[in-house]
């Protein structure tokens, strides 16, 4: 069983930065990838960023150039550095342990989420 715990969310002004952390109780390197997703009120959960075991990264267009996902396998922790934050980045951010499936990715384990609020 893998347990994921996010932290680092909070209230920040537009243009500011936050670093989210996702601490895993299991060994994250055993998964194909780790990812960050977000869900704003009234909206569906959406992909934010993903990092594979080999270090390859992918980002949603909405955060590309402003965010960096990284992992520290020794600490079983995944990070999401977000810069130049915008009010539309406000959401609950979830960490997920991902497994590759035909045509995409499946979240096998999810954290409880951390709230990010960006004020204008």
- Average of pLDDT values for 23-32? 77
Please indicate whether residue 95 or residue 53 has the higher confidence score (pLDDT): 95
Is the distance from CB of 96 to CB of 33 less than 8 angstroms? no
pLDDT for position 28: 66
**Quick check: helix, strand or coil at residue 63?**
coil
- Average of pLDDT values for 12-17? 98
**Quick check: helix, strand or coil at residue 109?**
strand
pLDDT for position 2: 84
- Provide the CA 73 distance to its chain's centre, in angstroms: 16
- Average of pLDDT values for 108-118? 96
- Average of pLDDT values for 19-32? 83
Q: Is the pLDDT of residue 113 over 70?
A: yes
């Amino acid at each position: 069983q893998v347990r994921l715990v996010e932290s680092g969310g909070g209230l920040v002004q537009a243009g500011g930065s936050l670093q989210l952390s996702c601490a895993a109780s299991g060994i994250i390197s055993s998964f194909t990838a780790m990812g960050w997703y977000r869900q704003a009120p009234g909206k569906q959960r959406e992909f934010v960023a993903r990092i594979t075991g080999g270090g390859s990264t992918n980002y949603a267009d909405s955060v590309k150039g402003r965010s960096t996902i990284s992992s520290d396998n020794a600490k079983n922790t995944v990070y999401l550095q977000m810069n130049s934050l915008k009010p539309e980045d406000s959401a609950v951010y979830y960490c997920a342990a991902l497994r590759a499936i035909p045509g995409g990715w499946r979240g096998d384990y999810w954290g409880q989420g951390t709230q990010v609020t960006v004020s204008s």
